[in-house]
């Protein structure tokens, strides 16, 4: 269950019942731990839990300040907050903060990137990392320092347009990226999103349905292509830096295909490595801070 959903549940429950945000989130987390304990058939009480991402945001367990750029990809400068065991929650917690620059913020992707760099031994220290998702991130790293990043609302916009706009009636969701008709529609979408004004290309989803150019199933892939192509337009001027595509399984094929369609050279980080990168990054940050700031944990374990 995502942080945003838990936050909505907390707010819908009202703020007058005497339960704090932290108490509510810990109760939800405790339910999840009990379920996991049943599946694992192992006692989980007493184990340390590390939380990154939106857990440390204003809608999470507790808001932590953002670390600033430049940021060392070892993770040693990421802010942390420790919460010890309590009577109602038998696990200690560590929250990890996020990053900000002058115009943008992120929580979670920095930990994911730390894990990727930790596990990808061939990384030279310089590169542009593309992390697709609900809020896609393009992250510039120089001399093993995050020096800048930009957020693209690609995934969320796709969801909103498909569910809450006139375009919803013209698409039919499906995950078949192998069908030649879907590939053709996706390719057209990527090229249109990259080369044409985004807002006009979005309405083309509607007219393609009205004129029988594409089926709703094809239009689904066309819309995906338009949004991804528009996002990748920003890479047009990045010829002098290695570009790393770091995608999980659900969007791995569309982004890989889009890079190929546009002829953008990239280094593909395996989806298996990306999917375990959050855990790798969390351990990296934890170990870095244990080595450099051990005093904050004295007496905690």
Considering the domain architecture, whether residues 161 and 257 belong to the same structural domain is answered as yes
Per-residue tokens: 76:
């040693």
Is 229 found in the same domain as 283?
no
Contacts for 45 with CB less than 8 Å, ≥ 6 apart: 90, 91
Whether 101 maps to a domain, the answer reads: yes
Q: How many domains does the chain have?
A: 2
Q: CA–CA separation, 299 vs 77, rounded Å?
A: 22
Beta bridge partners of 81: 95
Q: Do 236 and 283 fall within a single domain?
A: no
Residue range 127-136: mean pLDDT, rounded: 96
Domain of residue 185: give its range: 154-274
Q: Decide if 184 is inside a domain.
A: yes
Those residues whose C-beta lies under 8 Å from the C-beta of residue 81, and which sit 6 or more positions away, are: 56, 62, 64, 94, 95, 97
CA quadruple 269, 272, 277, 278: dihedral sign = positive
One domain, residues 222 and 113: no
Residues 78 and 172 in one domain: no
Instruction: Provide the pLDDT for residue 14.
Output: 54
Q: Do residue 244 and residue 289 come from a single domain?
A: no
Please check whether residues 250 and 290 belong to one and the same domain.
no
Predicted confidence (pLDDT) per residue in 195-249, tens digit: 999 999 999 999 999 999 999 999 999 999 999 999 999 999 887 899 999 999 8
Same-domain pairing of 206 and 227: yes
Per DSSP, the chain holds a count of helices (H) and strands (E) of 10, 12
**Phi and psi of 21, rounded to 5°?**
-55, -45
128 inside domain: no
Dump pLDDT digits (tens) for 20-56: 888 888 888 888 888 888 888 888 888 899 999 999 9
Whether 149 is in a domain gets the answer no
CATH of the domain at 242: 3.30.420.310
| % of the chain with per-residue pLDDT over 90 | 69
One domain for residues 170 and 202: yes
Same domain, 169 and 59: no
Report if residue 290 sits inside a domain. Answer: yes
Q: What is the pTM of this model?
A: 0.90
What's the pLDDT at 17?
Answer: 66
Tell me whether residue 147 is in a domain.
Answer: no
What's the pLDDT at 296? 45
The answer to whether residues 285 and 249 belong to one domain is no
* Same domain as 238, residue 251: yes
Q: Is residue 243 part of a domain?
A: yes
- In tens, the pLDDT along 144-196 reads 999 999 999 999 999 999 999 999 999 999 889 999 999 999 999 999 999 99
| Domain membership flag for residue 48 | yes
């Amino acid at each position: 269950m995502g942080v945003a959903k838990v936050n909505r549940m907390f707010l819908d429950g009202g703020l007058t019942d005497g339960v704090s945000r932290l108490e509510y989130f810990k109760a939800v987390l405790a339910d999840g731990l009990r379920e996991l304990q049943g599946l694992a058939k192992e006692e989980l009480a007493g184990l340390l839990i590390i939380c990154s991402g939106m857990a440390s945001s204003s809608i999470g367990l507790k808001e932590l300040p953002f670390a600033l750029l430049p940021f060392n990809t070892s993770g040693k400068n990421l802010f942390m907050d420790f919460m010890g065991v309590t009577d109602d929650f038998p696990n200690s917690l560590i929250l990890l903060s996020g990053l900000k620059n002058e115009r943008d913020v992120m929580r979670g992707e920095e930990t994911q990137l730390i894990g990727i760099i930790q596990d990808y031994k061939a990384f030279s220290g310089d590169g542009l990392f593309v992390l697709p998702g609900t809020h896609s991130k393009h992250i510039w790293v120089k001399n093993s320092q995050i020096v800048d990043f930009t957020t693209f609302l690609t995934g969320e916009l796709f969801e909103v347009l498909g569910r809450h706009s006139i375009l919803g009636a013209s698409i039919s969701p499906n995950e078949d990226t192998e069908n030649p008709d879907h590939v053709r529609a996706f390719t057209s979408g990527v090229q249109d999103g990259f080369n044409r004004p985004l807002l006009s290309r979005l309405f083309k989803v509607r007219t393609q349905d009205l004129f029988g150019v594409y089926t709703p199933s094809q239009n689904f892939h066309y819309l995906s292509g338009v949004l991804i192509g528009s996002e990748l337009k920003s890479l047009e001027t990045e010829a002098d830096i290695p570009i790393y595509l770091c995608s999980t399984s659900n969007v791995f094929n569309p982004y890989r295909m889009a890079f190929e369609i546009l002829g953008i050279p990239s280094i593909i980080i395996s989806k298996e490595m990306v999917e375990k990168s959050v855990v790798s990054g969390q351990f990296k940050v934890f170990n870095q801070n244990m080595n450099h700031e051990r005093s904050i944990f004295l007496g905690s374990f």
